[in-house]
Structures are given as structure tokens and as C-alpha cells.
């Protein structure tokens, strides 16, 4: 499993906090002009497209595609894989830069106004950067899953695992890493072990902040997601 590089942990974390990892401040993305592009992707369109089952990606700036053209973010690349496979699903990018797991829990009811066929949950990275309590993060993720299952019982869920930066100490890294497999086991979910596997810490696959994937990195992330998502769609 790929690991974050220690040599740029502090600088990278600082850049990520400034560039898009502040607390999410609204349950409804349209409330903030700066998030208009993200919000528009999170609202299912009216008309014929609304009849196509959706795959919603709930996530942070990693999912929103911070620093990338929207068509280069990994959810858009997954859409191309879906189309190439001859499957009829429409991807909705509900990524929110700066969002914590608590923010995602607060926002999930808004996202579920149009129940998806599949929801991919990517959250917790910003909590890890801030050293939030792993037990609280796990509780928030479990709360999101419960909300989805209550409001949309037929929605299939795929959980994406994340890693904490090693400058937070071995014990924190271990506890953080354990969140995702523990939730997947408890809630009987398929798990992507690490969303950024093969990308994290690789200069050529990340933007200047050393954390957000560039176009080449996003292609690898899309492939990682596709391996776990494809069986749910088929």
C-alpha cells in the first residue's frame, strides 16, 4: 500500500488546509457561490437523463477534482469507463472541497433527495489532517451509511479508505487506518482499501501541493475505483 511521503507532510498538509480543506459550512452547496460548479454536478438534471440510474460520489476535494478540469476528475473518468463497458449509469460528482466527515453527514440528506443506485463514500481525509478522533470519524461514516440505508434502502454503497499522514504518530496512523475496514465489516460493505494507492507520495502523479492528484494521478484513482465499482454495476 502506498504511503504519504514524510518529507513533505507538514508543507503538504498546510497547503491542503488552505487550498480546500477548511470546514464545510453548508448542508446545501448552492448556498456558497464558490461551490457553484460542485453543486451543479451534485444536482440530478430534469428530463430524460433523470431516468438513468445514478452513481453518486460523496467526497472531499479529492473527489471534487480540486485543481483539475471537471472532466479530468476521477468521477468523470469513471463515467467514461461505465460508458465504455456499455453500462447505463450517470455519475454525479458530489465532492465538496474542505468537507469533514461531520460535514458529509450533515449534507447527506440533501444529496439523497434523488436516491442513487450506487453511492461511493470518500470522506475522512480532512479529519485526518486535523488529527480528529478516529472514533468520531468512524461514527460519522457509520452515520452516513445509516442515513443512506434508511432513506434509500436499495442504494448500494462502496466505501473508499484513506490514510493518515505519519507526522501524526504511529498510533494515530494505525487507528485511522483501521476506521475503514472496521466500518466495512460492521456494515457489510465492499471497500477500496486506499483511494490514492499508487498515487500518494509520487511527485509525477500529484499537483504542486503534493496531495491532490494531477490528471495522470486521477486516471490511476479512477482505475482503482473502477475495480471495486464495476462488480456493483454489473
Which CATH number is 94's domain given?
3.40.50.1110
For residue 174, being part of any structural domain is answered with yes
Mean pLDDT throughout 219-224?
98
Rounded distance, CA 64 to CA 52, Å?
22
**Between 122 and 26, the higher pLDDT residue:** 122
202: left (phi over 0), alpha (psi -120 to 50) or beta: beta
Reported as a pLDDT band with limits 50, 70 and 90, residue 51 is: confident
Measured in whole angstroms, the distance separating CA 140 from the mean position of its chain's CA atoms is 14
Mean pLDDT throughout 134-161?
98
Backbone angles phi, psi at 177, to 5 degrees: -60, -35
The grid coordinates listed for 163 are 490514510
Least confident of 10-24, 98-112, 182-196: 10-24
Whole-Å CA distances, 55 to 16, 43, 47, 61, 178: 27, 12, 17, 18, 26
pLDDT(16) > 50: no
Q: What is the DSSP string of the chain?
A: -----GGGHHHHHHHHHHHH-SPP--SSGGGSGGGHHHHHHHSPPSSGGGGS-EEEEEESHHHHTTTS-GGGSHHHHHHHHHHHTT---EEEEEE-TT--HHHHHHHHHHHTTS--SEEEE---HHHHHTT--HHHHHHHHHHHHHHHHHH-TT-EEEEEP----GGG-HHHHHHHHHHHHHHHHHHT--EES-TTTTTTT-GGGB-TTSSSB-HHHHHHHHHHHHHHHHHHH-
Q: Counting every residue, how long is the chain?
A: 234
Full-prediction pTM beyond 0.85?
no
For residue 173, being part of any structural domain is answered with yes
Reported as a pLDDT band with limits 50, 70 and 90, residue 232 is: very high
Whole-Å CA distances, 18 to 15, 22, 64, 155: 5, 7, 16, 34
For residue 35, being part of any structural domain is answered with no
The grid coordinates listed for 213 are 492528484
For residue 224, the model assigns a pLDDT of 98
For residue 57, being part of any structural domain is answered with yes
For residue 205, being part of any structural domain is answered with yes
For residue 149, being part of any structural domain is answered with yes
For residue 187, the model assigns a pLDDT of 97
Tell me the percentage of the chain whose pLDDT exceeds 90.
77
Catalytic residues, by residue number, are 61, 209, 212
DSSP class of 130? T
- Nearest Cα neighbor of 73 from 231, 204, 212 is 212
- How many domains, the chain? 1
- Nearest Cα neighbor of 162 from 190, 197, 186, 130 is 197
Instruction: Write out the residue range of the structural domain in which residue 178 sits.
Output: 6-22+42-233
Amino acid at each position: 500500500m502506498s504511503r504519504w511521503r514524510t518529507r513533505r507532510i507538514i508543507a503538504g498538509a498546510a497547503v491542503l488546509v488552505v487550498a480546500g480543506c477548511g470546514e464545510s459550512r453548508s448542508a446545501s452547496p448552492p448556498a456558497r457561490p464558490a461551490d457553484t460548479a460542485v453543486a451543479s454536478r451534485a444536482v440530478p438534471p430534469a428530463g430524460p437523463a433523470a431516468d438513468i440510474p445514478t452513481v453518486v460520489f460523496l467526497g472531499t476535494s479529492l473527489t471534487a477534482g480540486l485543481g483539475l478540469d471537471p472532466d479530468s476528475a476521477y468521477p468523470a473518468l469513471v463515467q467514461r469507463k461505465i460508458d465504455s463497458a456499455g453500462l447505463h449509469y450517470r455519475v454525479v460528482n458530489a465532492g465538496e472541497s474542505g468537507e469533514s466527515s461531520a460535514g458529509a453527514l450533515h449534507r447527506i440528506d440533501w444529496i439523497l433527495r434523488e436516491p442513487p443506485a450506487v453511492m461511493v463514500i470518500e470522506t475522512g481525509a480532512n479529519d485526518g489532517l486535523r488529527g480528529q478522533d478516529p472514533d468520531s470519524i468512524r461514527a460519522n461514516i457509520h452515520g452516513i451509511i445509516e442515513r443512506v440505508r434508511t432513506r434509500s434502502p436499495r442504494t448500494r454503497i462502496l466505501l473508499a479508505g484513506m490514510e493518515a499522514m505519519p507526522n501524526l504518530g504511529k498510533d494515530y496512523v494505525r487507528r485511522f487506518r483501521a476506521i475503514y475496514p472496521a466500518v466495512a465489516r460492521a456494515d457489510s460493505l465492499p471497500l477500496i482499501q486506499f483511494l490514492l494507492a499508487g498515487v500518494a507520495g509520487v511527485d509525477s502523479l500529484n499537483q504542486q501541493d503534493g496531495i491532490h492528484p494531477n490528471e495522470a494521478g486521477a486516471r490511476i484513482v479512477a482505475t482503482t475505483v473502477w475495480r471495486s465499482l464495476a462488480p456493483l454495476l454489473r
